[in-house]
Chains A and B, each alone.
Chain A
């Protein structure tokens, strides 16, 4: 019995109540949020694997046991989410967006509960709590109308997902009479050989929820809207931490697939897993392709998140040692670099006042620290060694090739190449190119923001060249789900199946080549800086061609040929189905409403008809 586990949940709740009371004093709200995150982090230091706690909840006139159980996976997720949250809330101390600290604390409470609970009542409670707190958090982005729409769309998907889980957990309860997650999973594993379809049905009720939360195809449609129009400081949390709840849930249920003896297999995988690998691959490719087209930088990175979540799902669905290792490792890496990217975006947007790529450009001189953080972030996201995104992508490819999923691997490679393109688009459009005159007075973010950026830079480089610090705990998780962990040769090595990569070596060689590059740059001829319009135009006056300084920017219609190439794909609207469902419901609603526009006679008639139907029913019975 370790009561510190319950304090992991109650501390944020208490903090949230205090922050909510002081909501009007924005700085206090943020300060309390940050301190609560820090306190919770200290509580996590005292949390160890194997700790349990249980209490009884007086519900339905009987006692429902609530239990907490810390596993290797939960402690890993707790650490990465809370550390990131602490950094983010520290950043938010100086920020002007309308993120509500007390809602973030509610999500933190749910976060800690989800990762440590061992009963479905607590899991569902926390899941719903996280759901509504994040829905309300999405409200209050810079563009109100759009953020309202995004929040509603997200709400409908999220609530639909919760109800699916509602069904699943009560079906399990009907079957086993218990709410305990571990015993229910054991039960599912025990019957999966006998009733594979039953198990599949129940598990897919849960998986729909997890896929919605992680934003996996075909439930990804809320992701770009919600990420793009959420308050700028909340988006990092949405993308970095909240998408991982879905991954966590999937990891809970995936061990069942080990027992699936009765199911036919494809490429040595149970076919359900095989389908999931493809869902992951489709998500990865789709995210990449759609990211090309985006002019809104937050939307671009939202699609990038989608793509990365696709990688993770593809890897963990294999459910091999390398696959799960790679998936969890990539989840961590994605949390780090995407969190860093969205924080830098928040910094850029707060300074420039726009999130449109075509309106930005040349900001690197004005915001150098942000620029370097962003640079390392996209290098990580593109999987360039020695930054932190490389190792996990490399392991993902290995795990796919090991399973002989050649075509899927090729698609993932293509998605990764595409990632280079859109990441460069963002990089170039925001920071390189020419500075627009609108931004002559833009300043670097305040000191707090710079501290956070240096910290994130350091983390991305550190975990890139010292992957062992992450691979060791990931190995423990892999062991705990019943697979052989990968050997970790040293802190500096990523150990794959075919070869080992010495990350510090790569780091040094890259650093040396950079130094060479700089030397060449300095000893070469002097450069002349010209204004934006003073440019090589082959004797033409730009204005004659209808070009304005705005359209003369490099970031204007970046990748236009590429967009034309992929334009046919863009017409396939995945969210058409959901919108159609919504429209259909609305039309039905308007039609049904007509029932209640009558006068007293009509209502009387209804009552009489109802009575007659009942009488006939009684007669027939």
Chain B
């Protein structure tokens, strides 16, 4: 086995470099940013290689202990797709950071950013619910610190709220994991998934409630998402981009890995073991998130805060899609996750460039932006249109699939999707209002000079949105495989990890 087949490098290399960055920092602070960039570009190359060369499904065992006894990483279609997404987003944000992070403690920022990426990748890759907790903590703690980074005072408030709510979430998750461990004596996801119906239903339900609540914090579902607006608004734009483009991805992944694989019961529509159908619970929470998020964003005058609310609402939409539980719905959910990650990262980066060049964060400051910076305003519109699900942009296909799956399922999902579509009209209003402001010509201000370093990631992201919109199979192929993994828990996950296990 060549060392480059070992997906543990995706976690190990960033962690190794994260802890050696202070040494590079001794040479030059600017060097640390380049080290971060190179490390993440290794991750991106490696994960894209895994994805495109179809090196999955495969498991990576630690110390030759086969699962369920040893720890393992599992790279299925979902993990391959999401780890590529995380690494590529990380790479693009790292390019942006080359330009954006100039003052302050650059070394520490680089350490934290690498840890954050490593933690998020770990969450997606790991095959063990306790390791999931550890990676969640790595991601969480590095993101509190990242969110607090920067000159502004509001960053501290936001980071503190995130810290408090997120700690509660992790505690609840850990409690739930403990309960399951007392019942089954194992922490391996595959084994728990296979033996989940051996647990006491009451205890399983309680554990499930704890775990779902804990993970809903990271997945930004109402009412566990109180931290979102303040943290996103407070953090510097590069960090907000990372939170929505990377952190939320791993959060949603963890939530549905547990709900669909661990607790899941295969069927036409995946439901869950236990007294409570967790898929339905998540569907309700997700719908509430969408409606509340979009309505809160409606009257928002601060664009950054608006993006934060929209981010929350979009994660709700992703969760609605995944919670439908058939292949089409999960396909739509994963696709939407990718689209949202791309578009929202891009929009935060654009906002970062704008703020740095003296344009404010308020919606009024966007007046006449088209004249001042055609590229940025066009890219922002592309992101907004993708978010709204307009055709020729990536978001169309995922929204199409989510709505289609909901109506296919029928019943109370008709009602859910009705609410979601109503919220989408609200969303259309506030995004198109910004677009309208940008295209108005009443600007007295001079043209903006756009620095070229941050335009590279913005350009790549904007082009990829249109590319996905025109050729949906770029993402669609992979998210269809991912959907198949999520909806067939035994053949898609468990049997790939422990071939000898039988469902009980």
Specify which of B165, B401, B410, B429 is in contact with A604 (CB 8 Å cutoff): B165
Q: Is B407 touching A152 in the complex (CB atoms < 8 A)?
A: no
B164 touches A604 (CB 8 A): yes
Distance A148 CA – B281 CA, assembled complex (angstroms): 40
Question: Is A559 an interface position by the 8 A CB rule?
Answer: no
Given A61-B331, A170-B404, A589-B298, residue A611 in contact with residue B390 (CB < 8 A): no
Interface residues of A in 132-187 (CB under 8 A from B): 132, 135-136, 139-140, 144-145, 148, 151-152, 155-156, 159-160, 163, 166-167, 170-171, 173-174
> Which residues B443-490 have CB closer than 8 A to chain A?
472-473, 476-477, 479-481, 483-484
Say whether A618 contacts B275, CB under 8 Å. Answer: yes
Residues of B close to A156: CB separation below 8 A:
425, 428-429
Contact assessment for B390 and A132 in the assembled complex, using a CB-CB cutoff below 8 Å: yes
Query: Is B206 a contact of A590 with CB atoms below 8 Å?
Result: no
Q: Are A129 and B472 in contact (CB under 8 A)?
A: no
Is B168 engaged at the interface, CB distance under 8 Å to the other chain? yes
A606 in the interface (beta carbon within 8 A): yes
A59 B472 Cβ-Cβ under 8 A? yes
Which of B80-88, B187-195, B208-216, B493-501 lines the interface with chain A?
B208-216
The distance in angstroms between the C-alpha atoms of A171 and B409, with both chains bound, is 10
Contact with A along B199-224 (1 / 0, CB 8 A): 00000011011101100110000111
A125/B396 contact (C-beta < 8 A), A593-B300, A610-B224, A614-B213 known: yes
The yes or no answer to A603 lying at the interface (CB within 8 A) is yes
Asked if B217 and A607 sit within 8 Å, CB to CB, the answer is yes
Within the complex, what minimum Cβ distance (angstroms) separates B275 from chain A?
4
Residues of A within 8 A of B161 (CB): 599-600, 603
- A610 in contact with B476 (CB, 8 Å): no
B436's partner among A139, A595, A607, A615 (CB-CB below 8 A) is A139
Q: Give residues 276-290 of B contacting A (CB, 8 Å).
A: 276, 281, 285
Nearest CB of B to A599, in Å: 7
**How many residues from B make CB contacts under 8 Å with A?**
84
Given A61-B477, A129-B392, A144-B440, decide whether A618 and B206 contact each other with a Cβ distance below 8 A.
yes
Q: Is the CB of B429 within 8 A of A593?
A: no
Q: How far is the CB of B51 from chain A (nearest CB, A)?
A: 16
Which residues of A (43-94) have their CB < 8 Å from a CB of B?
57-62
Q: A263 to nearest B CB, angstroms?
A: 25
Mask: chain B, 419-437; 1 = CB below 8 Å from A; 0 = not:
0010011101100110111
Report A-chain residues with C-beta under 8 Å of the C-beta of B397.
59
Given the complex, which residues of B lie within 8 Å of A106, measured CB to CB?
A: 392
Distance in angstroms from A202 CB to nearest chain B CB is: 11
Give chain B nearest CB distance to A66 CB in angstroms.
12
Check B408 against A586 for contact (C-beta < 8 Å).
Answer: no
Q: Which residue of chain A has its CB nearest to the CB of B165?
A: A603
Q: Shortest beta-carbon distance, A593 to chain B, in Å?
A: 4
**Contact in complex: B327, A598 (CB < 8 Å):** no
The answer to whether B169 touches A61 (Cβ under 8 A) is: no
Please name all residues of chain B whose beta carbon is closer than 8 Å to the beta carbon of A615 when the two chains form the complex. 206, 209
Q: Which of these, A163, A599, A609, contacts B223 with CB under 8 Å? A: A609
Provide the residues of chain B in CB contact with A171, threshold 8 Å. Answer: 407
- Which residues of chain B are near A121, meaning CB under 8 Å? 400
- B213, A610: Cβ atoms under 8 Å? yes
- Interface hits, A569-618 → B, CB 8 Å: 585-586, 588-590, 592-593, 595-596, 598-600, 602-604, 606-611, 614-615, 617-618
In the assembled complex, the Cα of A612 lies from the Cα of B347 at a distance in Å of: 36
Q: Which residue of A lies closest to B329 (CB)?
A: A60
Known contacts A140-B439, A603-B165, A618 near B205 by CB under 8 Å: yes
Question: Given A59-B397, A607-B168, A607-B217, are A595 and B296 neighbors across the interface (CB < 8 Å)?
Answer: yes
Interface size of A by CB at 8 A reads: 62
B180 to chain A, nearest CB (A): 15
- B433 near A61 with CB under 8 A, answer no
Contact assessment for B435 and A607 in the assembled complex, using a CB-CB cutoff below 8 Å: no
Q: Is the interface of B mostly helix, strand, loop or mixed?
A: helix
B364 within 8 A of A: no
Does A61 contact B327, Cβ atoms closer than 8 Å?
yes
- A61 and B408 contact, CB distance less than 8 A: no
Is B292 engaged at the interface, CB distance under 8 Å to the other chain?
Answer: yes
Within 8 A of B (CB), among A255-275: none
**Contact assessment for B433 and A607 in the assembled complex, using a CB-CB cutoff below 8 Å:** no
| Contact of A621 with B by CB under 8 A | yes
Q: Which residue of B165, B205, B410 contacts A174 across the interface (Cβ within 8 Å)?
A: B410
Q: Does A128 contact B (CB under 8 A)?
A: yes
Given A155-B432, A618-B275, A621-B275, answer yes or no on A607-B407 (Cβ-Cβ < 8 Å). Answer: no
**Which residues from A are CB-within-8-Å of B442?**
144
**Is the pair A596, B226 in contact by a Cβ cutoff of 8 Å?**
yes
- Tell me, in angstroms, the Cα distance from A590 to B404 when the chains sit together: 31
Assess whether B391 is interfacial by the CB under 8 Å rule. Answer: yes
B68 close to A (CB within 8 Å): no
Q: Which residue of B lies closest to A602 (CB)?
A: B226
B145 to chain A, nearest CB (A): 17
- Contact at A61–B407, with CB atoms within 8 Å? no
Is B76 part of the contact surface with A, judged by Cβ < 8 Å?
Answer: no
Contacting residue for A600 out of B160, B309, B424, B477, CB 8 A: B160
Known: A60-B328, A621-B275. A611 touches B407 (CB 8 A): no
Give bound CA distance, A611 to B483, whole Å: 29
Bound Cα distance A159, B401 (Å): 17
Docked-complex contact B217 and A60, CB < 8 angstroms: no
Q: Given A59-B476, A156-B428, is A618 in contact with B209 using a C-beta cutoff of 8 Å?
A: yes
Which A92-130 residues sit within 8 Å CB-CB of chain B?
A: 106, 121, 124-126, 128-129
Chain A proximity of B171: nearest CB distance (Å): 11
Asked if residues B172 and A618 are in contact (CB atoms below 8 Å), the reply is no
Give CA–CA (A148, B441) in the complex, Å.
11
Tell me the nearest residue of chain B to A126, going by C-beta: B391
User: Do the beta carbons of B476 and A60 come within 8 Å of each other?
Assistant: yes
Given contacts A61-B327, A128-B396, A159-B425, contact A607 B296 (CB under 8 A): no
Chain B residues contacting A590 (CB-CB under 8 Å) are 298-299
B472's closest neighbor in chain A, by CB?
A59
With CB as the reference atom, state the residue of chain A lying closest to B305: A596
Q: B295 contacts A607, CB within 8 Å?
A: no
Interface contact B226-A606, CB-CB below 8 Å: yes
Residues of B within 8 A of A618 (CB): 205-206, 208-209, 274-276
Q: Which residue of B lies closest to A582 (CB)?
A: B429
Judge if B229 is at the interface, Cβ distance under 8 Å. yes
Please report the C-alpha to C-alpha distance between residue A152 and residue B210 in the assembled complex, in whole angstroms: 43
Question: Separation in Å of the A25 CB from the closest CB of chain B?
Answer: 13
**Proximity bits, A303-324, B CB within 8 Å = 1, else 0:** 0000000000000000000000
Rounded to whole Å, the gap between the CB of A376 and the closest CB of chain B is: 36
Question: CA A257 – CA B391 in complex, angstroms?
Answer: 32
Chain A residue numbers with a CB within 8 Å of B133 are none
Most buried by B among A145, A590, A614: A614
A586: B residues at CB distance < 8 A: 298-299
Q: Are B432 and A152 neighbours in the complex by a CB distance under 8 Å?
A: yes
Chain A residue numbers with a CB within 8 Å of B223 are 606-607, 609-610
Residues of A within 8 A of B224 (CB): 606-607, 610
A/B interface sample: 17 pairs, CB < 8 A: A24-B374, A58-B473, A59-B472, A61-B479, A61-B481, A124-B400, A126-B391, A128-B390, A148-B437, A159-B388, A595-B226, A600-B161, A602-B226, A604-B165, A609-B223, A611-B172, A614-B276
Interface residues of A (CB under 8 A from B): 24, 57-62, 106, 121, 124-126, 128-129, 131-132, 135-136, 139-140, 144-145, 148, 151-152, 155-156, 159-160, 163, 166-167, 170-171, 173-174, 585-586, 588-590, 592-593, 595-596, 598-600, 602-604, 606-611, 614-615, 617-618, 621
Q: A600-B164, A610-B285, A611-B209 known; 5 other A-B pairs, CB under 8 Å?
A: A166-B421, A167-B403, A170-B408, A614-B212, A615-B209
Q: Which 6 A-B pairs have the closest CB atoms?
A: A61-B480, A603-B226, A589-B298, A170-B407, A610-B223, A606-B223
